[in-house]
Amino acid sequence: MMTKPPAVLLAAALFAATASAADAPKPDPEKGAASFAGVCAACHGPDAGGIAALPTQPRLARQFPEYIAKQLTEFKSGVRDNAIMKPMASLLSDEDVLNVAAWVSAQKTAPAAAAPQAPEQAASAEAPAQEAPDLKLGERIYRGGIVGRSIPACSGCHSPNGAGIPAQYPHVAGQFPEYLTAQLTGFRDGVRKNNTIMTDVAAKLNDREIKALASYIAGMR
């Protein structure tokens, strides 16, 4: 029996993959807009730019479609565990997921404001003093990491301006600091388990460093 040479097998595999991609339906942003309005807008805003009164819910506009689709798929499957998002994402078909991701990625919105770096507030019986975020510390970690503790620079994966790298690392600039704090803390504490790289990085950060990073990233333009 004759065996086909590797070059022929490779060409056949590439042809099959290309044909499959060509046959796959293209995302429909208009349908995505309708799905988003019905399922997502109440928490993420009608323009996907977030809602100031709900800063623990992320701003989704400008995010890469591949990243949005991945997160929605993992919410549906439970790989990313979230009691609110699982039932919401489960309302979306696989086609809906791609359509929503395509629409969201095309939306433009102004970034969130950084938390102000102000002197420590006086303590009271009702509200104890809280240390303001150290934006300089956040910038140092984001741009240079912490060498002595083997913490890499965030800019290596999320780019120097926070724009991320398509299909690999998400856009983070201008995100709500409260959301960033919650996600970094979740990675560190093992609550969010769908990214081993972020789990390893966040495991080495303390609360002060997480707060500083979140505030600095929120103010990036």
Residue 87, pLDDT above cutoff 90: yes
Query: Where do runs of H (alpha helix) occur along 91-134?
Result: 94-105
Q: Is 135-218 in the same CATH topology as 26-105?
A: yes
Q: For the chain, what percent of residues have pLDDT higher than 90?
A: 76
Give the homologous superfamily in CATH for domain 135-218: Cytochrome c-like domain (1.10.760.10)
Enumerate the β-bridge partners of residue 98. none
Taking Cα atoms as reference points, which of 205, 217, 123 lies closest to residue 164? 217
CATH number assigned to the domain covering 26-105? 1.10.760.10
Residue 150 pLDDT = 96
Residue 128, pLDDT above cutoff 60: no
Q: For the chain, what percent of residues have pLDDT higher than 70?
A: 80
Residue 159, pLDDT above cutoff 90: yes
Kindly list the domain boundaries of the chain, sorted by start residue. 26-105, 135-218
Residue 23 pLDDT = 60
Residue 134, pLDDT above cutoff 50: yes
Give residue 5's pLDDT band: very low, low, confident or very high (50, 70, 90).
low
C-alpha angle 94/180/150, rounded to 5°?
105
